[in-house]
Amino acid sequence: MKKKFLIVLFVIVLFCISCSTSRFDDIQAFLPDLSGKADGIYRGEYNLSGTPVRVAVDVTVANQRIVAVDITRHTGSPIGRRAFSITERIIENQSLNVDAVSGATGSSKAILKAVEDALQ
């Protein structure tokens, strides 16, 4: 029983550390210039260093605009799935300069970086 308790405690501490927003503040994503970008679907990936968060996206470009962002792979905590809503803001703003989803900062940053990777 004591061993189980320690394992659960370790998982909780690890989860709290991985959710710390301040450690992700220096991760910035920048939208590459889309002028001249051919219509199509572009694949990008990002692995958030020091965390279990891994993201792959397919970004659809039409008429030099982002028209869809599909998350094809996401590993990490279940709470990180809340970050999936960031794709709507990327499309709406045509920008990667959007706020991270509260409580899912790591996954938000990984999604933004994966989109950047796809469009480079």
Task: Provide the residue ranges of all domains of the chain, joining segments of one domain with +.
Answer: 2-119
d(CA 81, CA 43): 19
Q: What is the CATH number assigned to the segment(s) 2-119?
A: 3.90.1010
| Chain segment 47-104, per-residue pLDDT in tens | 998 889 999 999 999 999 999 999 999 998 899 999 999 999 999 999 999 999 998 9
Q: Quote the tokens at residue 68.
A: 């869809």
Is pLDDT at 27 greater than 80 in this prediction? Answer: yes
Kindly state the percentage of the chain with pLDDT values over 70.
88
Instruction: Express the helix, strand and coil content of the chain in percent, nearest 5 each.
Output: 40, 25, 35
At residue 78, the 3 state secondary structure works out as: helix
Over residues 20-34, mean pLDDT: 82
Mean residue pLDDT across the chain: 89
Rounded to a whole number, what is the distance in angstroms from the first to the last CA of the chain? 51
Q: Quote the tokens at residue 58.
A: 């397919």
pLDDT, residue 3, reads 79
